[in-house]
């Protein structure tokens, strides 16, 4: 029994749409992981520099004990996001001269690289901050 060619094209389009949404979901989770990584060390400093005050800022340092858990989540999200953004296109995904890939992959990759940089800065910040802040 052969399949209708129109239904195959529709199923490929749905698959391309699902892949696009999964790629953006991975990118969003990577950015969220990077922000979670900053919650103990960098975020309080940024909030204070913008004039936000309160008792809760001092209590954010209690999140430092969860730094490695948030780093593991962030690294996992980043790895999945980079895999989605940089994986090669299968020949079966290409039809009629266009490949089923997100149109704005450069933006997705840029967000992923920015999230990776924020995660790296948040990971290194507690170790280098005494040299720059000199308390």
pLDDT value of position 117: 92
Q: What is the pTM of this model?
A: 0.67
Q: Which two tokens stand for residue 104?
A: 């704005």
Residue 89: the pLDDT is: 63
* Structure token digits, residue 25: 């979901």
Answer yes or no: is pLDDT of 18 > 90.
Answer: no
Cβ-based neighbours of 99, under 8 Å, separated by 6 or more: 89, 93
């Amino acid at each position: 029994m052969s399949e209708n060619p129109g239904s195959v094209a529709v199923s490929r389009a749905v698959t391309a749409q699902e892949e696009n949404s999964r790629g953006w979901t991975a990118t969003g989770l990577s950015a969220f992981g990077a922000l979670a990584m900053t919650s103990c060390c960098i975020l309080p400093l940024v909030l204070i520099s913008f004039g936000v005050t309160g008792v809760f800022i001092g209590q954010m340092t209690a999140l430092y004990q969860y730094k490695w858990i948030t780093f593991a989540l962030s690294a996992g999200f980043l790895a999945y996001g980079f895999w989605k953004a940089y994986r090669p296109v299968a020949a079966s995904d290409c039809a009629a001269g266009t490949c089923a890939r997100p149109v704005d992959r450069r933006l997705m990759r840029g967000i992923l690289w920015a999230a990776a940089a924020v995660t790296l800065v948040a990971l290194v910040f507690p170790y280098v901050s005494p040299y720059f802040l000199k308390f």
